[in-house]
Chains A and B, each alone.
Chain A
Amino acid sequence: QQQVKQSPQSLIVQKGGISIINCAYENTAFDYFPWYQQFPGKGPALLIAIRPDVSEKKEGRFTISFNKSAKQFSLHIMDSQPGDSATYFCAAAAYGGATNKLIFGTGTLLAVQP
């Protein structure tokens, strides 16, 4: 019940296209859903996050869509650029609990071709 399932494992998109990464969770106590971007040899960098009281959040070219009833959320990268090539992780946390530990998905390796 603590798992966060992420798909696809890898994704190839043409420059200017839309990248879509999906995640699903089971634990209804989760109330915080961030996305992280990680380049090789670096730590994860927080991209964008959403709480379940909204269905969508947009920051620049990055959008999170959230479906509470389906327990799914997704990251959309509009106008994908080669510089977006990285590994993307979704995560979830139950901030009402004693520990705000993040449960991560398994990651999606995105390659944006020029």
Chain B
Amino acid sequence: ETGVTQSPTHLIKTRGQQVTLRCSSQSGHNTVSWYQQALGQGPQFIFQYYREEENGRGNFPPRFSGLQFPNYSSELNVNALELDDSALYLCASSSRQGRNEQFFGPGTRLTVL
């Protein structure tokens, strides 16, 4: 069974640029959630995707957007990057909406200069 994978591992961007992060969910999982973890903080929920549709959103502006594909993999897109967007971005997958444990990937470390 393959766990949650994310790419890239690290990324450096400059303010104002756009970035796309990718996540492959664990085998058999159909729900993907994205979290932002600032240094020294707990993860903060960005949004969740189920059946290729956004299914709930945290307190993040519209420049944070996402997609889920038919194979349940997902992308997180961030436009007009700001310095405060520097963080570890985590993807978590679960097997059925609303019921089961969430398993996290290793994350993508984004640095905005």
Contact = CB atoms under 8 A, between A and B. Distances in A.
Interface residues of B, number: 29
Contacts, number: 67
Contact of B56 (A49, A98, A105): A98
Interface in B13-43: 31, 33, 35, 40-43
Given A43-B106, A45-B104, A107-B42, A97 B98 contact: yes
Interface in B27-82: 31, 33, 35, 40-45, 48, 55-56, 58
Nearest to A6: B42
Interface string B76-90: 000000000000001
A100 B42 contact: no
Contacts of A95: 98-99
B104 A44 contact: yes
Given A101-B45, A106-B42, A96 B98 contact: yes
Interface of A: 6, 34, 36, 41-46, 49, 89, 91, 95-107
